[in-house]
Structure 1
Amino acid sequence: MRRTRHRTTRTALTAVAALTLVLSASLVTSAAAAPKASDGRAAPASGTAAAQDAAALAALTWSDEFNGAAGSAPNGANWNFETGAGGWGNNELQNYTNSRNNSALDGNGNLVITARQEGSGYTSARLTTKGKVQPQYGRLEARIKIPRGQGIWPAFWMLGGQFPGTPWPNSGEIDIMENIGREPNRVHGTLHGPGYSGANPITGSYQHPQNWSFADDFHTFAIDWSPNSITWLVDGNAYQTFTPANTGSNPWVFNQPFFFILNVAVGGNWPGYPDGTTQFPQQMVVDYVRVYDSTGGGGSRTGTVRASNGICLDVAGAATANGTPIQLANCNGNTAQQWTVGTDGTVRALGKCLDVSGGGTAAGTAVQLWDCNGTGAQQWASTSGTLALRNPQSGRCLQPVGRVQTDGTRTEIANCDGSTVQRWTLP
Structure 2
Amino acid sequence: MGFPHPARRLLLAALSALALATALAVPTGGTSSATAAQAAAVTFSDTFDGAAGSAVDGSKWQIETGDNVNNHERQYYTAGSNNAALDGQGHLVITARKDNPRNYQCWYGKCEYTSARLNTSGKFTSTYGHVEARMKIPRGQGMWPAFWMLGNDIGQVGWPNSGEIDVMENVGFEPSTVHGTIHGPGYSGSAGIGAGYTLPNGQVFADAFHTFAVDWAPNSITWTVDGTVYQRRTPADLGGNQWVFNKPFFLILNLAVGGYWPGDPNSSTTFPQQLVVDQVQVSTSDTPPPAAGGTITGLGGKCVDVAAGSTANGTAVQLYDCNGSTAQKWSVGTDGTIRALGKCLDVASGGTADGSLVQLYDCNGTAAQKWTVTGAKDIVNPQANKCLDATGNSSANGTRLQIWTCGGGANQKWTVTG
Within 5 Å, give how 1:201-280 maps onto structure 2. Answer: 201-280=192-271
What is the match of residue 166 of structure 2?
175
- The residue type paired with residue 130 of structure 1 is S
CA distance in 1, matches of 2:6, 2:48: 33
Q: Name the CA distance, whole Å, in 1 between partners of 2:59 and 2:168.
A: 24
Give the SS at the match of 2:49.
Answer: coil
Alignment check: 8 A CA contact 2:11 2:67 kept: no
Alignment of 1:214-363 (within 5 A): 214-296=205-287
Aligned-pair distance for 1:70?
A: 0.7
1:104 aligns with 2:102: no
Q: In 2, Cα distance between the equivalents of 1:117 and 1:19? A: 29
Q: Is the 1:7–1:90 Cα contact (8 Å) retained in structure 2?
A: no
Cα shift readout 1:122-154 (whole Å, capped 9, x = no counterpart): 000000000111111111000000011000000
For each residue in 1:78-111, what CA deviation from the matched residue of structure 2 results, as whole angstroms up to 9, or x when unmatched?
1111101243x21000000014230001111111
Matched residues in 2 for 1:59 and 1:4: separation?
36
Q: Distance in 1 between matches of 2:5 and 2:285?
A: 32
> Which digits, 9 at most, give the CA deviation of each residue in 1:264-290, with x for residues without a partner?
000000000100100000000001100
CA distance in 1, matches of 2:57, 2:262: 30
Whether the 8 Å contact between 2:131 and 2:215 is mirrored in structure 1 is yes
**Counterparts of 1:227 and 1:265 in 2: how far apart (Å)?**
31
Question: 1:60 corresponds to which letter in structure 2?
Answer: V
Q: Deviations over 1:165-218 (max 9, x none)?
A: 221000000000000000000000000000001111101010012321100010
SS in 2 for 1:117: coil
Change in Cα spacing, 1:70 to 1:239, as seen in structure 2 (3 Å) is: same
- Of 11, 14, 23, which residue of structure 2 is paired with 1:13? 11
Name the counterpart of 2:56: 74
Q: Tell whether 2:75 aligns with 1:94.
A: yes
Q: Does 1:129 align with 2:129?
A: no
Q: Give the superposition deviation at 1:4.
A: 8.7
The amino acid that maps onto 1:75 is D
Give the Å deviation of 1:52: 4.2
1:117 corresponds in structure 2 to 98
8 Å contact from structure 1 (residues 149, 181) kept in 2: yes
Q: Aligned in 2, Cα 1:269/1:19: closer, same or farther, shift over 3 Å?
A: closer
Coordinate RMSD, CA, aligned: 2.1
Q: Does structure 1 retain, via aligned residues, the 8 Å contact 2:5–2:192?
A: no
Q: In structure 2, give the amino acid aligned to 1:103.
A: A
| Amino acid aligned to 2:82 | N
1:85 matches 2:67: yes
Q: Which residue of 2 aligns with 1:63?
A: 45
Counterpart Cα distance in 1 of 2:218 and 2:271: 42
Deviation, structure 1 residue 291? 0.7
> Which amino acid in structure 1 is aligned with residue 272 of structure 2?
P
Deviates more, 1:5-14 or 1:200-209: 5-14
User: Partner amino acid for 1:110?
Assistant: H
* Paired letter, 2:164: E
**TM-score, reference length from structure 2:** 0.61
CA distance in 1, matches of 2:186, 2:3: 14
Partners of 1:58 and 1:222 lie apart in 2 by 15
Question: How many Å apart are 1:5 and its aligned residue?
Answer: 3.7
Q: Distance between the aligned counterparts of 2:38 and 2:214, measured in 1?
A: 14
Q: Secondary structure at the match of 2:36?
A: helix
Q: Aligned to 1:259, what secondary structure does the other structure show? A: strand
Change (3 A) 1:19 1:8: closer
Consecutive unaligned residues of structure 2, counting only runs of 5 or more, are 21-29, 101-110, 289-418
Task: Quote the Cα distance in structure 2 between the aligned partners of 1:166 and 1:75.
Answer: 29
Q: Distance in 2 between matches of 1:241 and 1:86?
A: 30
Equivalenced residue count is 267
- 1:133-172 mapped onto 2 (5 Å cutoff): 133-172=124-163
Change over 3 Å in CA distance of 1:12–1:19 after alignment to 2: closer
Q: Which residue of 1 aligns with 2:179?
A: 188
RCO higher in structure (CA 8 A, sep ≥6): 1
